[in-house]
Amino acid sequence: MLATGPGRLRDFDVRGSALQIPAPEVATRAGCASAPRWDAAVAAAIEEAQALARPRARARALEEGELPSLMSSDTPLLAIARGGPRWAIVATVGGGPERQVREHFESKRFLEGLLLDAAASVAVEALCDLLEHECAREVAHRPGEARRFSPGYCGWTLAAQAPLLALLEAADLGITLEPSLFMLPLKTVSGLVVHGLPHDLEVPPQACATCPSRRCCRRHPHDIKERREP
């Protein structure tokens, strides 16, 4: 249990081998969904990712008054974030997987590199799922569900990563932010978990307008059409 009171940092430790990395998601990311002949290779990549992962995750409950440091008044997600209990989160599987991905490509083990990269990406999302679940448990008495949002998506500026990481004191976890606003290790996710009723967590259409994500389940149908490949 996290038990994160406002301002208090709570770490969530899990072994890499305990990360549940769903094979279908890895296959989808690696471009071989619905291709059973690659199942064994996907399974091997998942094992490799679990062995190389050094998961670190942290959450911090946020007061509504802290939101302006993370979101400007015109951020489409602000209303959602204000609507319910919220936590700043950060999770990483460490730099091991990305180093091994490079090694694979340099050694011309292209397939292994591709699949490990996909497995590591899914692994950090799996870690976030655990974190999200722990946040939801803190407010289990309330109706609703937890959902997470990350800078760079849903119209939330990527620049918000800086105050998020500062709030979470993420440097302690070995997580840093580069000047061009990507986090190191690369397989790191930061964001907000918000708890509320599904309707209150629905992303407004304007949030999709500037979002670069092409395959988002929350993307509004009209926007998917507009962003289809040329």
Partner 1 sequence: MKQFEDIREALIEGRDEDVPSLVSQALDAGHPPATILSQGLIAAMEVVGERFRCHDYFLPDVLMSARAMHAGLDCLQPHLAEAEIRTRGTVIIGTVQGDLHDIGKNLVGIMLQGAGFEVIDLGHDVSPEAFVEAVRRHSAGIVGMSALLTTTMPAMARVIASLKAAGLDQVKTVIGGAPVSEAFAREIGADGYGYDAARAVDLVKGFVVP
199 binds partner 1 (CB under 8 A): no
110 binds partner 1 (CB under 8 A): yes
Least distance from C-beta 105 to partner 1, angstroms?
Answer: 5
CA dist 85 and 138 (Å) reads 10
CA distances from 47 to 9, 43, 53, 113 (A): 30, 6, 10, 13
Least distance from C-beta 137 to partner 1, angstroms?
Answer: 33
32 binds partner 1 (CB under 8 A): yes
CA dist 27 and 35 (Å) reads 8
CA dist 205 and 208 (Å) reads 6
| Count of Cβ atoms closer than 10 Å to residue 133 Cβ | 13
164 binds partner 1 (CB under 8 A): no
96 binds partner 1 (CB under 8 A): no
When the beta carbons of 139 and 181 are compared against partner 1, the nearer one is: 181
Residue with tokens 């690369």, as numbered in its chain: 186
Least distance from C-beta 184 to partner 1, angstroms?
Answer: 8
| Count of Cβ atoms closer than 10 Å to residue 11 Cβ | 11
The stretch near partner 1 (CB under 8 A) out of 26-34, 77-85, 162-170, 216-224 is 26-34
Looking at the DSSP bridge assignments, the partners of residue 9 are: 60
Strands 176-177 and 145-149: unpaired
Span 58-87, contacts to partner 1 by CB under 8 A: none
The stretch near partner 1 (CB under 8 A) out of 47-55, 81-89, 134-142, 206-214 is 206-214
- If you compute the radius of gyration of the chain from its CA atoms, what whole number of angstroms results? 18
E strand or H helix that includes residue 57: strand 56-62
Residue with tokens 């208090």, as numbered in its chain: 8
Least distance from C-beta 98 to partner 1, angstroms?
Answer: 9
The stretch near partner 1 (CB under 8 A) out of 25-33, 49-57, 74-82, 87-95 is 25-33
SS3 97: helix
Q: Total number of residues binding partner 1 (CB under 8 A)?
A: 30
154 binds partner 1 (CB under 8 A): no
Binding interface with partner 1 (CB under 8 A): 30-32, 35, 38, 41, 101, 105, 108-111, 113-115, 117, 152, 158, 178-182, 184, 186, 212-214, 229-230
